[in-house]
Amino acid sequence: MAAARPPGWVWRPVAHDRLLARAFHSCTVLRGRLYVVGGLSFGGAREPLGDAVMFDPAAGRTTRTGGPGGPRRSHHDAVSVGDRWLCVVGGWDGSRRVAAVAALDAERGAWEAWSAAPDSCAPAGLSSHTCTRLSDHELRVAGREGGTRTQRRYGSVYTLRVDPPARTYSYREEGCHTASRSGHSAALFRTGGPRPGHQLLLFGGCNSPAPEVAGHWGPGHIQEEPVVASQLTEQLSRLVRRERGSAEGPRGLRHHSCSVVGPFAVLFGGETLTRARDTICNDLYIYDSRKSTRPWFHLPCEDRNMKRETSTPAELALAPDPSPLSLAAGFSSSPISRILCFSLKSFNSLPFA
């Protein structure tokens, strides 16, 4: 994919704390704060961390939260529900892949034990999957199901119903399948045209550079969240209007970060399946969901040190303006204990199209 010639972009350090040092974790925004959960503390570790770390951007402070009893998980996913609960879904617990759901109650600052409902048809195990919030009671899980020894040769799609007051959850497998993916990302977008509504796209996790649809919903089904990052959305809009896109995205990218910014998916870092050596990626990719042709934009990294400092995998999270897109932790030769904030340099020089 041809590289665009964008204005320079940088990751600006905003926090440094040893509590953040980890990878294969989750990073989720809840009540304006970043919650970093689980992960591995060093390369080659098999026992996941069982803590939650909260970063408050307003105070610039990082603290542990939730107390004891947190799930030991890596290669999991986490979503916010009801502006109160942080639901941790699936992952590796140190001995096996699990599909269980654990929840952190941000209001009480405590972990809760949630149980599977009697009608739940849970997958055998999930890791390096995605979990996307559709509403405060419905999530969509996409990934390759399987236990420690075997996994399916295709991707499974599940609807996960959660009932926070009852502290229960229920899986239902959908009839559709996707390509076999692991370490992919997911992005939920509005759609127009003859079938307005929303669709869920999967990126990476396999050799194909093309995104794949993992769900489509008509008007009124998706419980949309308040618009955040309006300033960054406008900056990205101006950027893609002046650059020539590409028809294909990155090939074989996995364990990367992904965040939805308005109509854009912003992908960063991870590793590539297409090279035998030097597999760590540190470039930025933008996918414009409004474009039917040439929707991809490649922004090469100008800072060679970033490859050393933000190798696989860190996590992106989207918080309110003015500095909304944050990169938390990750691995290089040692765990990274920083939070970085994305910024486009000299953007005032860009003209409106």
User: 185: closest CA among 304, 312, 292?
Assistant: 312
User: 40: closest CA among 237, 314, 227, 320?
Assistant: 314
3: in domain: no
* pLDDT of 150: 57
74: in domain: yes
pLDDT at 337 over 90: no
184: in domain: yes
C-alpha atoms less than 13 angstroms from C-alpha of 25 in its C-beta half-sphere:
34
Residue 210 domain boundaries: 9-349
1: in domain: no
> What is the distance in angstroms between the CA of the first residue and the CA of the last residue of the chain?
24
More confident residue, 330 or 186: 186
pLDDT at 6 over 50: no
User: Cα separation of 187 and 165, whole Å?
Assistant: 27
Please name the residue that has the structure tokens 């995104």. 211
At residue 45 the predicted structure's pLDDT band, cuts being 50, 70 and 90, is: confident
User: Total domain count for the chain?
Assistant: 1
- pLDDT > 90 in the chain, percent: 58
Residue-wise pLDDT for 152-165, tens only, equals: 678 999 999 999 99
User: Cα separation of 251 and 246, whole Å?
Assistant: 13
User: 29: closest CA among 315, 288, 310, 254?
Assistant: 315
Q: Quick check: helix, strand or coil at residue 332?
A: coil
**Residue range 257-263: mean pLDDT, rounded:** 92
Residue pair 89/74 in contact by the 8 Å Cβ criterion: no
User: Cα separation of 70 and 37, whole Å?
Assistant: 9
More confident residue, 175 or 307: 175
328: domain CATH number is 2.120.10.80
pLDDT at 37 over 80: yes
Please name the residue that has the structure tokens 């870092």. 269
2: in domain: no
At residue 280 the predicted structure's pLDDT band, cuts being 50, 70 and 90, is: confident
Phi, psi of 20 (to 5 degrees): -85, -10
- pLDDT > 70 in the chain, percent: 84
Q: In what order do the strands lie in the sheet with 33-37?
A: 26-30, 33-37, 52-56, 61-65
* pLDDT of 229: 76
User: Cα separation of 129 and 246, whole Å?
Assistant: 27
Q: Which two tokens stand for residue 85?
A: 């609960």
User: Cα separation of 272 and 283, whole Å?
Assistant: 11
* pLDDT of 325: 76
160: in domain: yes
* pLDDT of 79: 96
**Lowest mean per-residue pLDDT among 254-263, 272-281, 299-308:** 299-308
pLDDT at 74 over 80: yes
C-alpha atoms less than 13 angstroms from C-alpha of 204 in its C-beta half-sphere:
29
- Tally Cβ neighbours within 10 Å of residue 107: 11
4: in domain: no
**Residue range 294-314: mean pLDDT, rounded:** 66
At residue 195 the predicted structure's pLDDT band, cuts being 50, 70 and 90, is: confident
* pLDDT of 231: 84
**Residue range 238-248: mean pLDDT, rounded:** 89
65: in domain: yes
Pairing relationship of beta strands 110-113 and 33-37 according to DSSP bridges: unpaired
Residue-wise pLDDT for 79-93, tens only, equals: 999 999 999 999 999
**Lowest mean per-residue pLDDT among 92-106, 107-121, 337-351:** 337-351
User: Cα separation of 124 and 120, whole Å?
Assistant: 12
Q: What is the mean pLDDT of the chain?
A: 86
Q: Which two tokens stand for residue 197?
A: 């509504």
**Residue range 100-120: mean pLDDT, rounded:** 97
Phi, psi of 18 (to 5 degrees): -65, -20
